[in-house]
Structure 1
Amino acid sequence: MNLLVSLLLFVGGFKSAVKPAGPAQKGKATYYASKFAGRMTAFGERVNLKAFTAAHRTLPLNTLIEVTNLKTMRSVIVRVNDRGPFTKGHIVDLSHAAAEAIGLMGKGVTSVTLRVLDKSRVNDLVSVLITPDMNQSLMQPAL
């Protein structure tokens, strides 16, 4: 199931079919420093720089958000599993995978919009994107 969710969250640079559940926030995004890999998040998970996760100061943990880089107009869907960033004007810290998906890696900081997604619409999107044939192939071990 993690692979399935990761595939959905990796879809960067798309026009979202998932309806936003609230107004957009604008601000700066950064990404986790490598030294945080393996440390515990506020959600009780270890920081995984390859997962599509993020830190936000106030959104409920486990919330799905769409982050759009305003320079590249590429988007990524991530799950909030940590608290932060704690720098004024910064609204989200992204994992390396999420930062790479929107063209943030190497830049350090960029302007983004952030939208909270309606979870019921995310389930609809998963059912459309992942067919039973795809699900079977995802479960096969790599040779």
Structure 2
Amino acid sequence: MSRATASGETFDPDALTAAHPLLPLGTRLRVRSMRTGRSVVVRVNDRGPFHGHRIIDLSPEAARQLGMLGAGTSPVAIEPARPEDEVASAPR
């Protein structure tokens, strides 16, 4: 069963996307795992999370690239993506 995101897109577990309760849809963020040190650029395309003190929900692919797939929750640092981040994360 496919699920629509707040942006109107169909949720794609293989995309580098995220849900955030307040940031504008389409915002690009660099998310860094505080445990692994890895980072990834994601695009906000949905709303949430709406429970606990969580500040962002990542797609399974973003979590996998950060080395936190299956961890449930994990501490991250979030900052706006820079133009050079966009070039580095663009599909080849």
**Structure 2 length normalisation: TM-score?**
0.89
Choose 1 or 2 for highest CA Rg.
1
Equivalent residue, structure 2, for 1:42:
6
Is residue 70 from structure 1 mapped to residue 50 from structure 2 by the alignment? no
Match of 1:55 among 19, 27, 32: 19
Q: Identify if the C-alpha distance between structure 1 residues 122 and 46 changes in structure 2 by more than 3 Å, giving closer, same or farther.
A: farther
Indicate the SS of the match to 1:110. Answer: coil
Structure 2 residue ranges without an equivalent (≥5): none
SS of the counterpart of 2:23?
coil
The CA RMSD over aligned residues, in Å, is 2.3
Write out per-residue CA displacement over residues 36-91 of structure 1, whole angstroms, 9 at most, x where no aligned residue.
x7200000000000000000000000000011110001101000000000112101
CA distance in 1 between partners of 2:38 and 2:21 (Å): 23
Does 1:106 pair with 2:75? no
Q: Structure 1 pair 105/91, CA: closer, same or farther in 2 (3 Å)?
A: same
Identity of aligned residues (%): 42
Q: Structure 1: which 5+ residue stretches go unaligned? A: 1-36, 139-143
Moved over 6 A (4+): none
